[in-house]
Structure 1
Amino acid sequence: MATTPRRPVSAMDAAEALFKPVKKPAAPAVERRALPETKELVSLKLDSAVLHYFQDDGPGWQDRINDALRTVMLAKPKD
């Protein structure tokens, strides 16, 4: 009954075993709820015409997009 040795046989194998990266268990994901009425950083793809429309009025264009989206959200009845 042939079994592989538990310890490395050659010096090279022993050295590689010493420097082999240790696999750390992944930390469990913590779900953090956002506080109400806080803003979150997101990446959003918009048509260039839509972006230019909101940017034409100068600074505050992100707030204007947020206000427009909020108006649409509040106009839709909740199920």
Structure 2
Amino acid sequence: MSDKTMKTATLEEIREMDRRGELYHNPDAPEGPSLGADFWKDAELVYPEAKTPISLRVDKDVLDWFKAEGPGYQTRMNAVLRSFMEATRRNA
């Protein structure tokens, strides 16, 4: 896939595109390539790590912003913290 076929959009832009009916599945789209019989042969089921419940104090406006983005705000907050942690580790 070339850069010309890639687009970036914010979550709000995607939601607006959905409201305008611009996001849809084309039932006439061709099937993707077959994965073949051996694709799952060596597959391993990997469960995500269990989360540790904590009590965390954050600024009200920060929490309100994450909540305003919709369901999954705690997962997104964790992703931001993980991104910061990984960047800090890389630069250490």
Could you tell me the TM-score, scaled by structure 1's length?
0.50
State the structure with bigger RCO (CA 8 A, min sep 6), 1 or 2: 1
Q: Is 1:42 aligned to 2:42, yes or no?
A: no
Which protein shows a greater Rg? 1
Q: Is 1:61 aligned to 2:73, yes or no?
A: yes
Structural mapping, 1:1-79, within 5 Å: 37-77=49-89
Q: Tell me, which stretches of 5 or more residues in structure 2 are unaligned?
A: 1-47
Q: Tell me, which stretches of 5 or more residues in structure 1 are unaligned?
A: 1-35
Partner of 1:3: none
Structure 1 runs of 4+ with >2 Å offset: none
RMSD: 1.7
Distance in 2, matches of 1:77 and 1:60, equals 26
Distance in 1, matches of 2:53 and 2:63, equals 17
How many aligned residue pairs are there?
44
